[in-house]
Amino acid sequence: MELVRTKDEVRRAVASRRAGGKIIGLVPTMGGFHEGHLTLMRLCAGRAGFTVASLFVNPIQFGPGEDLESYPRDEQRDSELAAGAGVDLLFAPSVEEMYAPGRSTFVEETELGRGLCGASRPGHFRGVTTVVTKLLNIVQPDLAIFGRKDLQQLMVIRRMVRDLDFPVEIVEGPLVREPDGLAMSSRNVYLDGPRRAAAPGMYAALMRAAAQIAGGQGQISVALAAAREEIERKTGGRLEYLQALDNELAAADEAAGCAYLAAALQLGATRLIDNVRVPPGSSGDGPDG
């Protein structure tokens, strides 16, 4: 695996592989690799002849007071893991390489990114769509893979790519969990022992509610209220949102239209997000669906 820091090096490396007829795949990341990232990389390497991963903690998607400074950074470890997962080129630019001084252009999706995480993190998705646009322009991949862990991000990027005619296929990667059900996240390392032990309570409650809703056992609002109470009691955290959503991320109020339950939980200083499919297991990507 080659590690490069400049856009020019990426363009050169990709151009020669494309000229050789290879399919180019991209996995954008912020590092702090865990099995979720590595699964996306392996998936990409299985579909593309040349797999590029980006490792860039994107400052413009963090709000004031968020964890930009403390975000886990270990490039040595990450590059070894990426190489083992089939990445051919790791692009790890500096902030200066990515953002020219005086930049004044952003890309913004204006509908899907407003609710859920967008409501409490204003500007977050604008930062994501802007950096993903830049990465797609730098790498010009045939396909780019995003995990369902960040369901809203995946939907926002799909919409952007559709609306702006990016010549790329967006591929959904499965949501990878710890054995106890906690969705893997680079931020899980922030959790102290008791909070780490309590955190899977969110997933358990989401699964119970998803099964109830899919089984037609009462109203969605009743299942959500029970899950809210259970999550806060079992984790000791504070729910930012817990919503039943349709395939387009709009609020679902009837079981027939419900495709996902999605939640964000503030657990101490750590913000955790998760989602499950309704009915559970309907995605074929693991026990949670």
Known catalytic residues?
Answer: 37
Per CB under 6 A, contacts with ligand AMP among 75-104 are: none
List of E strands, the chain: 2-4, 24-29, 50-55, 89-91, 143-147, 169-173, 238-245, 260-267, 270-277
Q: Taking the complex as a whole, how short is the minimal distance between the CB of residue 20 and ligand AMP, in angstroms? A: 27
Closest CB to ligand AMP among residues 156, 220: 156
With CB under 6 A as the rule, give the number of residues binding ligand AMP. 17
What is d(CA 185, CA 104) in angstroms, rounded to the nearest whole number?
A: 31
Per CB under 6 A, contacts with ligand AMP among 12-41 are: 29-30, 36-37, 39-40
Residue 176 is a binding residue for ligand AMP (CB under 6 A): yes
Bridge-based pairing of strands 89-91 and 2-4 is parallel
Q: Is 147 helix (H, G, I), strand (E, B) or coil?
A: strand
Residue 51 is a binding residue for ligand AMP (CB under 6 A): no
Per CB under 6 A, contacts with ligand AMP among 178-197 are: 183-186
CB 109 within 8 A of CB 128: no
Residue 173 is a binding residue for ligand AMP (CB under 6 A): yes
What is d(CA 108, CA 158) in angstroms, rounded to the nearest whole number?
A: 13
Per CB under 6 A, contacts with ligand AMP among 99-158 are: 146-147, 149-150
Residue 277 is a binding residue for ligand AMP (CB under 6 A): no
Closest by CA to 130, choosing from 106, 100, 165, 94, is 106
**Which DSSP state fits 74?**
-
Closest CB to ligand AMP among residues 257, 281: 281
> Interface with ligand AMP by CB under 6 A: which residues?
29-30, 36-37, 39-40, 146-147, 149-150, 173, 175-176, 183-186
